Amino acid sequence: MRSLSVSYQYPYSLSMEGPKGPERLVIRANYPETPVSEMLFQNLGLMHLVAPHLPSRIITDFLLEPRFVELIRRMYAWEKYPAPDFSNMASGPMRFSLPETSGKKVVIAYSGGKDSVWNAWWCRKRYGSENVSLVHIAQMNKLSASEEKKSVLAQRDALDFPNIEIVELLNSSRNRGYSIMRSRNMFIVGLCIPFALERGASRIIIEGFAECTAGETFTGTEANIRGFNSLIHSLGIPVSVGWRDRKEMALLRDLLSACPDGLALANSCFTAKYFKGYIRKSWKKHTPTFPLFDTQCGSCLKCRITNIARIRYDEKLLGTASPQDIRTYIALTDKWLMDKREEVDDMLTESFMGVMKRVAQQYGITLTSVE
């Protein structure tokens, strides 16, 4: 694509005429209005809008901070695209003078999925509930946005999360699917930074990188997030991105032991809401005693990973589901993995496959999906 034009309107509205029609990012309410928040929204919102298209020229009616221009160029290089030209770049770097923040306070970028629930559980244990704030960006993941927000609100009430902010984002960008990770993590962190500054928190917590693969996209890698930290610090912003590396099945074991209600409310399911009811009925027919969580379809990869962990670690499930229904769930998951292997192979972690082998041996099933 040759060029794209992005315009900014105060407060917090970016619009672009994309190849298939208008695309917008707008923060509609409940957001700190500061020079720092505006600069971050302009630069990282721009990056998020152009990420699925990677045009050769980017035209803006606002000045871009030079270090973010370089960040966008690195995103292009990661995708093996030539660096774009920019029409409107500031003549020199910006720097802000901001109050100090505290290492005893954190903000969690909170999606409502299992990784977020684990981060909240661990941080509350480490820092105390009064020093932990959650920020949920509604509409970031458009296909599951309503279910994500519903889960976040349910978790707030059930798990007593007093310090939670929901940013209402109008998001009509074409940035979706796997490629959303080209820009998503940095955009989310940029939206969280103003809340961290308000609360005096020195760290924004995201999910870790314990089982990342070589094919990760730009903002899904530890090295690039460390580089992003350096960029933020160079602007004079006293906030860092932090994370805890915990393997997937160990994380699920922790939640099943210490925060089972949180896991039951977590929204990690890939299936769209309008298909979920039909799929759940099918599981009720094939495995009538196997209790899916209310948030689950039972059939997508995320649900299968969680349920295999439950079979391994959840004594409550073992007291409810019959051995035959557990065997059926394992066998059907094995068949599904064989059928979908090319689609899901890059998302299958070593820890999941290890637990899959373990439960199959326990229930006398010979796997065809695992060597």
What is the CATH code for 102-242?
A: 3.40.50.620
Residue scoring higher pLDDT (280 or 147): 280
Cα(170)–Cα(268) distance, integer angstroms: 22
- The residue written with tokens 């500054």 in the block is 197
Cα(323)–Cα(151) distance, integer angstroms: 30
For the chain, give the percent of residues with pLDDT over 70. Answer: 99
What residue spans in the chain does CATH classification 3.40.50.620 cover? 102-242
CB-based contacts of 238, cutoff 8 Å, min separation 6: 98, 99, 100, 101, 197, 202
**Is 1's pLDDT higher than 70?**
no
| pLDDT tens, residue by residue, 295-322 | 999 999 999 999 999 999 999 999 999 9
Cis peptide before 19 (omega within 30 of 0): no
For residue 17, give the 3-state DSSP assignment: strand
- The residue written with tokens 């099945």 in the block is 249
Cα(99)–Cα(89) distance, integer angstroms: 27
pLDDT at 45: 98
The mean pLDDT value for 138-155 works out to: 88
Q: Tell me the CA distances in angstroms from 215 to 13, 105, 199, 351, one per residue in order.
A: 32, 33, 36, 18
Q: Specify whether the CB–CB gap between 235 and 94 falls below 8 A.
A: yes
Centre a 10 Å sphere on the Cβ of residue 366 and count the other Cβ atoms it contains. 9
CB-based contacts of 91, cutoff 8 Å, min separation 6: none
CB-based contacts of 223, cutoff 8 Å, min separation 6: none
Centre a 10 Å sphere on the Cβ of residue 10 and count the other Cβ atoms it contains. 9
pLDDT at 364: 96
| pLDDT tens, residue by residue, 41-97 | 999 999 999 999 999 999 999 999 999 999 999 999 999 999 999 999 888 888 999
For the chain, give the percent of residues with pLDDT over 90. Answer: 84
Lowest mean pLDDT of 124-138, 145-159, 224-238, 244-258, name the range: 145-159
The mean pLDDT value for 11-19 works out to: 95
| pLDDT tens, residue by residue, 198-217 | 999 999 999 999 888 777 89
